[in-house]
Copies of this chain bind each other. A is one copy, B any other.
Amino acid sequence: MTYCVAMCLADGLVFASDSRTNAGFDQISTFRKMHVFEQPGERELVLLSAGNLATSQSVISLLEKRLSAAPGSILGTSSMFEAAELIGKTMREVIHRDNPNGAINHVDFSCSMILGGQIRGEQHRLFNIYPEGNFIEATKETPYFQIGESKYGKPILDRVISYTTSLERGYQCALISFDSTMKSNLSVGMPLDVAIYRRDSLKPCFNDRVTDQSRYFQALRQQWHIGIQALCNDLEPPQLN
């Protein structure tokens, strides 16, 4: 399994992904699920992936291999929309390569991706690309997307994240959302990759690799855990008569 979350906020974009992959409980590995395509001053694109690792790795490899192609390069797209189209098309190509005609039906070849970033001349944008290669875009009403094991970490996002949330708050909430998820699901695991893009900068993201030893993450998860207990202590007690 995997857990990835990305937010499209007024001030920019926040991305976070775990790095655990597993094929059964006894085949566990660490793979980075965040990939960046960048041209400073021109574009900054961040791609998060979940699902079949063979599929998502092939999609990334093909996108990288074709960077210098005339048409078909993700660096040649003139909008985030076109970039999402290209990624969706590449996903369908890989799945068709590995499972033509859908003949093998006992293996799930599918993957999901989140694409966010900015291309010069456009706003910063965020897309959720489905396994079928089609996609939806985040809006002010729905400013974040999750892929993978999303349920445990959703309540904190729903309670805190809105379009006007700051990048710092978005980063904190993403880390808390991961902490809640990792407590409940062994298939989501450290280290985490975090990227934060400031709108209109067209510069490489702020990047962080968060491990169990990261001082800030340790402090945050402890502050949160203690804070939740304190919040419970302050709640009005029920009358059980």
What residues make up the interface of A, taking CB atoms closer than 8 Å to B?
151-156, 158-160, 167-169, 171-173, 180, 183-184, 196, 206, 216, 219-220, 223-225, 227-229, 231-232, 234-241
Chain B proximity of A204: nearest CB distance (Å): 13
**How far, in whole Å, are A238 and B159 apart by their CA atoms in the complex?**
20
| B156/A228 in contact, CB under 8 A | yes
| B172/A155 in contact, CB under 8 A | no
| A235/B220 in contact, CB under 8 A | yes
Whether A167 contacts B232 in the complex (CB less than 8 A), given A152-B154, A184-B154, comes out as no
A155 contacts which chain B residues (CB < 8 A)? 152-153, 155-156, 180, 183-184
| B167/A240 in contact, CB under 8 A | yes
Write 26 A-B pairs (CB below 8 A) sorted by A numbering. Answer: A152-B152, A152-B155, A153-B155, A155-B156, A155-B180, A158-B183, A159-B183, A159-B225, A159-B228, A160-B228, A160-B229, A167-B240, A168-B240, A169-B232, A171-B238, A172-B232, A172-B235, A172-B237, A172-B238, A173-B232, A206-B240, A219-B236, A223-B236, A224-B235, A227-B231, A228-B231
Which of B223, B227, B236 makes the CB contact (< 8 A) with A220? Answer: B236
Q: Which residue from chain B places its CB closest to the CB of A165 in the assembled complex?
A: B232
Q: Which residue from chain B places its CB closest to the CB of A149 in the assembled complex?
A: B151
**How far, in whole Å, are A172 and B184 apart by their CA atoms in the complex?**
21
A228 contacts which chain B residues (CB < 8 A)? 156, 159-160, 231
Besides the contacts A151-B151, A206-B241, what 13 more A-B pairs have beta carbons closer than 8 Å? A159-B229, A168-B238, A169-B232, A172-B238, A196-B240, A206-B240, A216-B236, A216-B238, A224-B231, A224-B235, A227-B231, A227-B235, A228-B231
Main secondary structure of the interface of A (DSSP, over half): helix
A219 contacts which chain B residues (CB < 8 A)? 236
| B172/A158 in contact, CB under 8 A | no
Which of A159, A231, A238 has the most B CB atoms < 10 Å from its CB? A238
A152 contacts which chain B residues (CB < 8 A)? 151-152, 154-155
A236 contacts which chain B residues (CB < 8 A)? 216, 219-220, 223
Q: Which residue from chain B places its CB closest to the CB of A227 in the assembled complex?
A: B231
Q: Which residue from chain B places its CB closest to the CB of A205 in the assembled complex?
A: B240
A237 contacts which chain B residues (CB < 8 A)? 168, 172
A151 contacts which chain B residues (CB < 8 A)? 151-152, 184
